[in-house]
A and B are shown apart, each in its own frame.
Chain A
């Protein structure tokens, strides 16, 4: 297990380097830092001095890869690549355009993101699996057909519709919860309810349908027939056999997103005014704050790789055949 973990973490390093090089070439090679500065300062009538000043303020006034004006180790370290990309491995993301430390900002915003994403994830999982199990129980009946049709209909509706419609009906017409906002602690529950509900609604169609396919595949296997032949009730078969054996494909899709929950949801957070990482990213995109976007890309891939490792570990828990 330990050896496996070490191997996985070592394996993650080249991937993160790849991500790093990719973002570096995206942000600094496709466009010069001059273009970036001009974009920030407004396209028209920007003096070269202003560009230089902006670059100096934000630390972009270095050469890209190799600094020939410096001596020794500084030849490498005093470059944009080292300062802006390599330092991300230490989770040192530098500062955003308005001068705030990105790493600290990320720390502060993780919790609100998690406050929305975690309940959405758990409630969603429970509902999707229940719904899918019900459809499997009533498979090949009119109920199943209706359930699948409902799923297809729900997954054809734009996620924006759920948000806009939900805000309108629940908050504006019924006045059940505030339209948007956030507070920590118990006060925050009323702000969280609607985003969670909408988050769950948003993927109820596609997820339930996906779980149903998994369950149906398991339900067609021989051991299920044997279990039925032994006289087990359909419910026992479903929960005791089908659900347990379907855990591997379910975990494959589910565990990998757990670390990404920290990243929050771009849409939900910006619509509901939740000060999490999702809205942080959206604000950065709208303000064209490249430093923040770069940091989020890097953070996202770190979390994704963590998710892959977690997935493998979770296999050992549900499947005794898997040993790491």
Chain B
């Protein structure tokens, strides 16, 4: 398939973030003192299991980040025209569940629509009945009788295949790690390090991998013939919508921090180190910003931004670009309103650090302020930055849902947990009730936020110097 690769603004931010992480990894790998806290993270079962789950979310998010516009069939003049629809790799991989649209609501794993319609009866008359779905369970001749057995057998075979694949993966992974370790031990001259399998997180990771394999196998196998999480009002598969929402959540959670980090770092350290009028000005700025209740500030800014975007329709060639820019603006706004907390922390820490002997020694040697800031102060506040980043993530994911509900969140065409909940909210009042869209949105969000929280705790435990450890 031909296509034109497209890098949206948030895609660029994500690539930038990836580059930062890659550089940081290379930097840390060479320095044992920086590696130490990470090794503590690696020894924590909770930390590693949540990292595994988080990386699955990140994988989905990254697949959804590689965007392109498909080429339309060529016109007579030989010019290639690209479709206005921006697709991502995730759309390609999930093409089946994306394109299998039903007419309207259908329950998870159902073979019939959720609403009665006029259908032709076998005897020729017209009656009211639940019509069959176009795709969900379409292979069954007699759903009433076969549905349960078919679902069960598909789930079982899927789970079994999943477990098998997960076990193979885990085994080859362990073998690889083991071989690498042997290699490094040999090179270090017979210095013995404890074997990988002896570590505690290993067992937890293994169990998680197998359970995940089981779950994924089941879902994959069922998704080939059913709507695993049902369909929404216009018949879209809810599983697909939930998967697409993951990227928005991740973008909000990470790009926001990326945006606010330079502000917080620069202003916080400058205020703490330089003091005097610089400190006064910076304190004034963040007192003003933080004295406005954040929801109101965000709402006001988003409203203004909406007007601004409405007034400049010529900027965007596709609606995806427009929605994307709104997402980026939302991140910017969230970043601008939330840097004050971190800034205050960093200012306090810098005030403490600048009185320490090694800074005074550097000053006595005539080292320039800029160099002291970058070489001596910045590395020593990095743990605060990292802890704040991971702690903020889950809060931002939750905030997105609330903001989208209030009407100042992402663009209504962007799939996100907030828009999903917002569109499904009224369905609770329907008779019979449509619960699966809400359940899917809240479920996915819970898992994402919970793992993020657990991971953040593991990071904090490993990095916070105030916690005394033996």
Contact = CB atoms under 8 A, between A and B. Distances in A.
Interface of A: 14-15, 18-19, 22-23, 26-27, 30-31, 35-36, 38-39, 43, 152-153, 155-161, 164, 167-168, 172, 260, 263, 266-267, 270, 281-282, 285-286, 288, 290, 293-294, 296-297, 300-301, 304-305
Q: Among the interface residues A152, A260, A281, which one has the most CB atoms of the partner chain B within 10 A?
A: A152
A260 B450 contact: no
A15 B296 contact: no
Contacts of A294: 300
A158 B449 CA distance: 9
Interface stretch (B7-15, B221-229, B306-314, B353-361): B306-314
18 contacts: A18-B285, A18-B287, A26-B304, A27-B304, A35-B308, A152-B450, A152-B454, A156-B446, A156-B453, A158-B421, A160-B401, A167-B428, A282-B406, A285-B299, A285-B406, A297-B292, A300-B292, A300-B293
Contacts of A22: 288-289, 292
Given A30-B304, A30-B308, A164-B425, A297 B297 contact: yes
Nearest to B429: A172
B293 A286 contact: no
Given A19-B288, A22-B289, 20 more contacts: A14-B284, A18-B284, A22-B288, A26-B300, A26-B304, A31-B304, A35-B308, A152-B457, A157-B442, A158-B402, A158-B417, A172-B428, A260-B293, A281-B299, A282-B406, A294-B300, A297-B296, A297-B297, A300-B293, A301-B288
B407 A160 contact: no
A252 to B, nearest CB: 13
Given A31-B307, A267-B402, A156 B450 contact: yes
B345 interface: no
A294 B304 CA distance: 11
Contacts of B449: 156-158
Q: Among the interface residues A160, A167, A172, A297, which one has the most CB atoms of the partner chain B within 10 A?
A: A160
Contacts of A263: 293
Given A15-B284, A18-B284, A266 B307 contact: no
Nearest to B448: A156
Contacts of B407: 282, 285-286
Lowest 9 A-B CB distances belong to which pairs?
A18-B288, A156-B450, A300-B293, A301-B291, A156-B449, A304-B291, A31-B307, A35-B311, A297-B296
A172 B428 CA distance: 10
Interface of B: 284-285, 287-293, 295-297, 299-301, 303-304, 306-308, 310-311, 394, 398, 401-402, 405-408, 417, 421, 425, 428, 438, 442, 445-446, 449-450, 453-454, 457
A15 B291 contact: yes
B291 A160 contact: no
A96 B405 CA distance: 23
A146 B147 CA distance: 40
A94 to B, nearest CB: 16
Nearest to B297: A297
A11 to B, nearest CB: 9
A168 B304 CA distance: 35
A297 B453 CA distance: 31
Contact of B310 (A43, A282, A285, A286): A43
B417 to A, nearest CB: 8
A164 B428 contact: yes
Nearest to A43: B310
B421 to A, nearest CB: 6
Contacts of B457: 152
Nearest to A26: B304
Contacts of A23: 300
**Contact residues of A: prevailing secondary structure:** helix
A288 B310 CA distance: 13
A158 B442 contact: yes
A301 B300 CA distance: 14
Contacts of B290: 304
B299 A161 contact: no
Nearest to B452: A156
A216 B33 CA distance: 29
Contact of B303 (A19, A155, A161, A285): A285
Nearest to A20: B288
Contact of B296 (A164, A167, A296): A296
A266 B295 CA distance: 9
A158 B398 contact: yes
Nearest to A157: B446
Q: Among the interface residues A27, A158, A159, A270, which one has the most CB atoms of the partner chain B within 10 A?
A: A158
Contacts of B406: 266-267, 270, 282, 285
Contact of B401 (A39, A153, A158, A305): A158
A245 B408 CA distance: 41
B329 to A, nearest CB: 12
A285 B408 CA distance: 8
Contacts of A172: 428
Contacts of A19: 288, 291-292
A290 B421 contact: no
A248 B287 CA distance: 21
A155 B453 contact: yes
A15 B297 contact: no
Contacts of A301: 288, 291-293
A270 B446 CA distance: 23
A297 B300 contact: yes
Contacts of A158: 398, 401-402, 417, 421, 442, 445-446, 449
A167 B438 CA distance: 14
B453 A152 contact: yes
A267 B453 contact: no
Nearest to A205: B453
A31 B312 CA distance: 11
Contacts of A155: 453
A32 to B, nearest CB: 9
A268 to B, nearest CB: 11
Contacts of B311: 31, 35, 38
Contacts of A157: 442, 446, 449
Contacts of A260: 293
A92 B37 CA distance: 55
Contacts of B453: 152, 155-156
A301 B299 CA distance: 15
B293 A15 contact: no
B391 to A, nearest CB: 11
Contact of B402 (A35, A159, A304): A159
Contacts of A159: 398, 402
